[in-house]
Structure 1
Amino acid sequence: MTSSTGGHLHDGPPDTKLDRHVLLVAGVVVLGAIMSILDVTVVAVAQNTFQQEFGTDAAGAAWTATGYTLALAAVIPLSSWAASRFGTKKVYLVSLVLFTLGSVLCALAPNIGMLVAFRVIQGLGGGMLMPIGMMMLTKAAGPERVGSVMAVLGIPMLLGPISGPILGGVLIEQLSWHWIFLINVPIGIVALVYSWIVLRDDAETSRPSIDVVGLLLLSPGLALFLFGISSSAEHRTFVTASVLVPTIIGAILIGAFIVHALRKKNPLLDLRLFTNRTLSISVATMVLFMIAFFGAALLFPQYFIGVRGESTLAAGLLLAPQGVGAMLTMPIAGRLTDKMGPGKFVLVGIVLIVLGLSTFMFLGADTSYWLICGSLFVQGLGMGMTMMPIMSSALATLKNSQVPDGSTLLNVIQQSATSIGTAVISVILASSLASRPEAGLAIMANTSDAPLPPGVPDPLPQSFFETAADVFSNTFTISVVLIVLTLIPAFFLPRKKIASQLTEEDMDRGPIMMH
């Protein structure tokens, strides 16, 4: 028997341990996830370098990130249709080729315009790596191992924002900016060869016609919405035409897609999945969590660099305890979620995140690094018990035929929530700094070689840095409130083993690898 995306139904009872078959597929997916997730954070570190190398301003350099995000937004909605039409293996291999080729071209870019164009190529490839990878992993896991497998996928998702700045700082400081892209090339080649060898050749696939109307509504709608939201950080406000116009147009197009999808028999994405109560609750929890978590994640390195005067590399290393905490609890939470449901672990995880993040509501300019790193460790413990159990609970209730749509939906929502969280916190921080000029001067003193304005004491008094720390602590308070609100939908998550409708499929080549 075959599925619509190339796997073959597993013989015998469902496996309960992470055996060789699922680990081979997990290796493929993690390699792709590492590239696509690291690339976002590594490029964020290089913004000042791009301004200097290409003689552009901050807005021009920011398009290297915006172009990538817009390409992701445009291509992610196609994932479900592409998997059904061509099979997961072919789509995944093409995505890897595009991403790797885009990385080479980025490293060779002669000017900022070409770099942005090549970043779009990267985004077109990177956009499908996560949703297609999630499809393959969910089917390979079957009903008994979804939580455990999602924990494997969660490692690059959680560590990417932490390790990216470290890697970016090392590559730029020790080599050159070209290497933040060239580093993807060997990884991409290994991932391509490994995927070609390991993944099972696509079996019979369905031949669905593409929902053209849905595509013309959702892809540009999502891209415009995310572009508008992301632009708010540059303008330091949501109330400007440059932000409101694309955001509103994007929201209208997305709304029109929702109406269209609920009426059409075979839409680009099946929104009727939201009639699944567990999926709906999981998505609501995930949205609030992503907005709060990724908003707060933006603040940590800015505090270390802007207020404490640390280097990019040092800021990344100071965030390491968060990753250590997550790696400790994530595998345990994944296994136990398969046996007991996600509800209990997610609630405990959110409480731990609140406890860890609450420390940052009282930041000073000289708060002990022991206290900060300890708080980050506690927060990491909570993160490992939260994000992936939420996602696995959403996917575990689906049938195999619904996994492509479910995976694509989760990635669309995750991308949107992440952008909203980053934008909201960025605007709050920027507006607070603008209202307290002494805080801005303190950050300028730590991050810029430019001389201080005339009449400003040099060196700056300690009170300026305390004011800057106070701005960050007030902004962290917003993140804490958002995390606390996540408890409301999380309370309704299943607290017993989910009766999964998944059927385990062998997505790898199996015995072929034994020769």
Structure 2
Amino acid sequence: MTQTPTASTEFDPALRKLVIVVVLGAIMTILDTTITSVAVNTLGAQFHTPLTTIQWVLTGYTLALSASIPLSGWVIVRFGPKTMWIVSLLLFITGSVLCGLAWNITALILFRLLQGFGAGMVMPIGQTMLARAAGPARMGRVMSAVAVPAMLAPVLGPTVGGLILGHLSWRWMFYINVPLCAIAVLAAIVLLPPDPVRDHDAELDLLGLALLSPGLGALVYGTAQAGSGTSLTDVRVAAAVLTGAALIGCYVLHALRKGDAALVDVRLLRDRNFAAVNAMMFLYIGTLSGLMALLPLNFQTVDGDTPLRSGAMVAPLGVGAIITTLLTGRLADKYSPRLLILAGLPVVLLGFLALTRPSTGDIPLLAILFVIGLGHGMIMPAAMGATYQSLRRTEIPSATTATNVGIRAGSSFGVAALLVLLQRNTGHSALDASTFTHTYWWALAIGAAALVPALLLPRRPVTRS
């Protein structure tokens, strides 16, 4: 076997700088998906607005974030990754400042849309820059670094939000982004190399954008409404989910005809490795997202916990994930991603199985979530690295966009599926522990289905020039 050159396996200074830049930029945009979750009551009292309207502060950010993801592949090719990385962060900073200055709830919701639009492109652009710079031999380590901010969100978001509300004005939940993201912008200007040659002739697939962004947004909106307690038979939920699924289906047909000129090239799914890892992540992320929607609901309705405490109860999952993420990155560069994914999935499923047992108190539950986190941290860096394993450099922007769209769609699917099953198990009675336990069995079954595409991953790394 030919030994890979040292230069391609070690972290050189340029790659270290790139990792620092991406982590600095990503951490606050991800944190903002959860930091405001504890402020619903505070904002309702501040603006004398019902909670159904205040929920749009959370939902609007998520919708705008989802809608901007499909644009990321095209803007990278057309304007360059460094330029668009800085532009995305500046949009996020501008939205944050305006949110802090908001004079009424309408203004706050509109500014959250701007903030979310910038945030949606940050992670795909960052992943593209890392994948291009790292190459196959270092992919696991760089992807584990960028995965850490995602693991921190459920741990730090509600906690930081609660601390700010306890000691400062709610406006500081948004102002806190400004100095940290300003450092990220300055780091990008100083540390990132100039953009490569841009394709000034790259045309934007307007029809694809008109189908995919609203479709993804509608899907996310429908599941967000269901997650906030709206009945699944409500027209807002059913119409949004069905419309979103139909628009995404129409986009797939359009993209197959348009080929590599499509907003996201779905023909990448013909690559066995890319298709298998994305199918695995669709099912796995869907199950985990559904579980993250069920657990706080379980804690609040059955145990009587406050929203802040129910959010803090999930923190061990993030802690466990961070521990193994930091270890898995290096292993993913030495061993097959398939091996690590198939090692992590049973750990997660073991945690799911433990959730189906009668509750024995907080300590065992925290231990179960910690174990799930350990498995999660083994899976994600390996899966993110495997995504690019067999792709050409020119395919990376579209592949990154496709993967992020798939993760969003999978998350929406998982939340909707488990909430449908929860309501079906409930019938006309109130939610109780047995209802949640039965639904956790379904989470276990859907999560176990992710083993099938994981087994289809190549046993050895496959690379293309």
Return the TM-score normalized by structure 2: 0.92
2:240 corresponds to which residue?
246
1:106-125 correspondence to structure 2 within 5 Å: 106-125=99-118
* CA drift at 1:250: 2.8
Q: Could you say if the C-alpha distance between residues 293 and 171 of structure 1 is closer, same or farther in structure 2, counting changes exceeding 3 Å?
A: same
Aligned residue for 1:145, secondary structure, equals helix
**1:95-131: CA deviation from partner (whole Å, max 9, x where unpaired):** 0011011011111112111111001000110010010
Is 1:71–1:223's contact at 8 Å kept on the other side of the alignment? Answer: yes
Larger Rg: 1
Task: Give the counterpart letter for 1:388 in structure 2.
Answer: P
Superposition RMSD on alpha carbons, in Å? 2.2
2:214 to 214, 220, 223: 220
Residue in structure 1 matched with residue 276 of structure 2 by the alignment: 281
Amino acid at match of 2:123: M
Task: Give the Å deviation of 1:25.
Answer: 0.8
1:210 and 2:195 matched: no
Quote the offset at 1:428 in angstroms: 4.4
Q: What one-letter code is carried by the residue in structure 1 that aligns with 2:157?
A: G
- 1:160 corresponds to: 153
Q: Return the offset for 1:411.
A: 0.8
Aligned equivalent of 1:149: 142
Return the letter of the residue paired with 2:265.
D
Alignment CA distance shift 1:174-1:479 (3 Å): farther
Question: Does the Cα contact within 8 Å between 2:290 and 2:416 map onto a contact in 1?
Answer: yes
- Give distance in 2, aligned partners of 1:482 and 1:133: 30
2:167 corresponding residue in structure 1: 174
Amino acid at match of 1:221: G
Q: Distance in 1 between matches of 2:244 and 2:305?
A: 39
Query: Is 2:417 aligned against 1:402?
Result: no
Please give the residue correspondences for 1:420-431 in structure 2 after superposition, counting only pairs within 5 Å: 420-429=413-422
User: Which residue number corresponds to residue 370 of structure 2?
Assistant: 377
Q: Which residue of 2 aligns with 1:469?
A: 433
Native 8 Å contact 1:28 1:194 kept in 2: yes
Task: Return the alpha-carbon distance in structure 1 between the equivalents of residues 418 and 33 of structure 2.
Answer: 18
Q: Please say which of residues 66-75 and 132-141 is displaced more in the overlay.
A: 66-75
Aligned match of 1:96: 89
Offset at residue 432 of structure 1 (A): 5.7
Where structure 2 has 5 or more consecutive residues not aligned to the other structure, the ranges are: none
Letter in 2 for 1:164: G
**Counterpart of 1:218 in structure 2: which amino acid?**
L
After superposition, give the CA deviation of every residue in 1:440-495 in whole Å (9 maximum; x if it has no partner).
xxxxxxxxxxxxxxxxxxxxxxxxxxxx3333333323222221221121122223
Classify 1:176/1:226 alpha carbon distance in 2 versus 1 (closer, same or farther; 3 Å).
Answer: same
Q: Map Cα deviations across residues 183-216 of structure 1 (whole Å, 9 max, x no partner).
A: 1111111111111111112132112121222222
Q: Once the 2 structures are TM-superposed, how far is the Cα of residue 321 of structure 1 from its aligned partner?
A: 3.0
Question: For residue 288 of structure 2, what is the aligned residue in structure 1?
Answer: 293
| SS at 1:268 equivalent | coil
Query: Any residues of structure 2 matched to 1:476-495 within 5 Å, and which?
Result: 476-495=440-459
Q: Secondary structure at the match of 1:210?
A: coil
Question: Given the superposition, is the C-alpha separation of residues 426 and 169 from structure 1 closer, same or farther in structure 2, using an over 3 Å criterion?
Answer: farther
Q: Give 1:505's aligned residue.
A: none
Please give the alpha-carbon distance, in whole angstroms, between the structure 2 residues aligned to 1:217 and 1:175.
Answer: 42
- Give SS of 2:136's match: coil
Match of 1:33 among 26, 29, 52: 26
Q: Where does residue 500 of structure 1 map in the other structure?
A: 463
* Range 42-51 or range 269-278, more displaced: 42-51
2:119 corresponds in structure 1 to 126
Q: Distance in 2 between matches of 1:238 and 1:307?
A: 20
2:140–2:333: 8 Å Cα contact kept in structure 1?
yes
Contact 1:261 1:270 in 2 (8 A): yes
| Alignment partner, residue 257 of structure 2 | 263
Shift of 1:14: 4.7
Provide the rounded CA distance (Å) in 1 between the counterparts of 2:91 and 2:276. Answer: 35
Higher relative contact order (Cα pairs below 8 Å, separated by 6+ residues): 1
Which residue matches 1:507?
none
Mean CA deviation greater in 239-248 or 29-38: 239-248
| In 2: Cα distance, 1:57 partner to 1:392 partner | 44
Paired amino acid for 1:122: Q
Name the amino acid aligned to 1:219.
S
Pick one of 326, 332, 340 that aligns with 1:331: 326
Q: CA deviation at 1:244?
A: 2.7
Secondary structure of the residue aligned to 1:18 is: coil
How far does residue 327 in structure 1 lie from its aligned partner after superposition?
2.3
CA, structure 1 residues 475+168, in 2 after alignment: closer, same or farther (shift >3 Å)?
farther
Q: Does 1:44 align with 2:8?
A: no
Distance 1:312 1:285, change over 3 A: same
Task: Report the counterpart of residue 192 of structure 1 in structure 2.
Answer: 185
Cα distance, 1:434 vs structure 2: 7.5
Alignment partners' CA distance in 2, 1:24 and 1:316: 33
Number of residue pairs matched by the alignment: 459
**1:75 and 1:309, CA in 2 relative to 1: closer, same or farther beyond 3 A?**
same
Moved more, 78-87 or 258-267: 258-267
Task: Give the AA of the match of 1:501.
Answer: R
Q: CA 1:119/1:239 → structure 2, altered by over 3 Å: closer, same or farther?
A: same
In the alignment, the residues of structure 2 paired with residue 50 and residue 362 of structure 1 have an alpha-carbon distance, to the nearest angstrom, of: 38
Q: CA deviation at 1:163?
A: 1.8
1:141 and 1:87 mapped to 2: Cα distance? Answer: 18
In structure 1, the gaps of 5 or more residues are: 1-11, 440-467, 503-515
Distance 2:356 2:25 in 1: 36
Structure 1: distance between partners of 2:439 and 2:342: 24
Which amino acid counterpart does residue 429 of structure 2 have in structure 1? R
Equivalent pairs: percent with the same residue? 39
Please say which of residues 147-156 and 165-174 is displaced more in the overlay: 165-174
Q: Distance in 1 between matches of 2:66 and 2:304?
A: 35
1:90 CA displacement: 0.7
Q: Normalised by the size of structure 1, how large is the TM-score?
A: 0.84
